[in-house]
Structure 1
């Protein structure tokens, strides 16, 4: 199926997930928030895009040194070159505004940064269907860069495992450099590290952003993303109780669970969502005072 044929289906699915609300643009097929990393030289643009992403259902990663396997890296060119941290495919920052303006999750292929890269992948399989992850961009092949790993799935309707295989490259002859033992060892170590990153992302997502699987269990338990109403309820509870410190413990969150502040959310989920996500979004809630934000941010690990 071509991208043009796929877009209407994606748009329909997005409206179904969000009840016809265009604010759910950056949501995957199974309800995961699509994550972005912004490497931009203009702080005003970075602030604007951050708000657009959060308001449209996505999330912005704060740890730029340990990017998750499905995080979309957005650049303006200068920042990525200056810091030298981009070692996988990156995309133009205009992508976010174009998606929001069209109320549609647009093809990433049209926004690849760098004119010399030969895009050979459908990136919807990474960010929307989540059957693949981004690959490091340090090994050119005769046909161009291989931009993704394939993630093996036991069933098309089941959650994928973190086992990786390289995208099949037919009619490509290995070079002498690839045959060198140090190069093979380097690639092996990189694959191991990347598997750990995928396991970390799946672990983070399970708690707050989507389906969960357990040992000896085949049925999936689905948890929806936190809504803005739930996030406001969490913050207002903490303010009302004057619980602005000590939030890395469990007692406060157990009390919140018992009070049914967010029905059907466990105290572990409430705690993890605050420390991993909500603590970085405090500027979006105008009812918080400056001092309250400072005290809450003091709970960062």
Structure 2
């Protein structure tokens, strides 16, 4: 005897809920003067404009996290992001903290994180105006697998020749302090008001792709980030979370029957069925 329509609908709804919901986020290519003309083929862009970032976006505008890939051929501006209190005072929904995971880099590539010595606001302003701020920044060599947490207030810059994945709070706020003479707007007053004018005191986390490193974010970060690695056919236990940003760094497989591959970013949940067809390393980001 056939099931009534309402019972059929309930059975189907329970089945969908037990499997979970997976949505492939759409990549948006963002042109930047310091970007690259040719990106790796998995990112699908060859054109006249230098692409500096790929933003992975969903239909919702209020998702708490944003995942990016960043590609540099020149140095980014020296910049800073505000914390929640300062951002809300400016009419924004919140501040911005981020984590960088280095995917690839050219020999000699460097990141600028924090200052090499403490300075006064007056000294910092003068250095930003005359260009000597470049000598104040603590420039560090990087290698693939390095991971850095960038708290709000950290003066920072990404150097040339770097490809990285960035997970950040989803607020588009950046105060440029210095831009090497490029004709772009600076925000020295706003930036100086929120900058921590001292050295960066956090050790780098080195977690090479191909290793199951587990959690690579500090306990005080506003989100949780894991680096996981799975072999072909391995059963995947996803974090216990309603939203998981799944960013595969290599490999291939299926999510709920849909194919995924390097260059993707998916928004999934703990009930999704993640299948590993070829060995995979991936970043998994969740919020509290």
TM-score (normalised: structure 2): 0.28
Which protein, 1 or 2, shows the higher relative CO under an 8 Å CA cutoff with sep ≥ 6? 2
TM-score by length of 1: 0.27
Structure with greater helix share of residues: 1
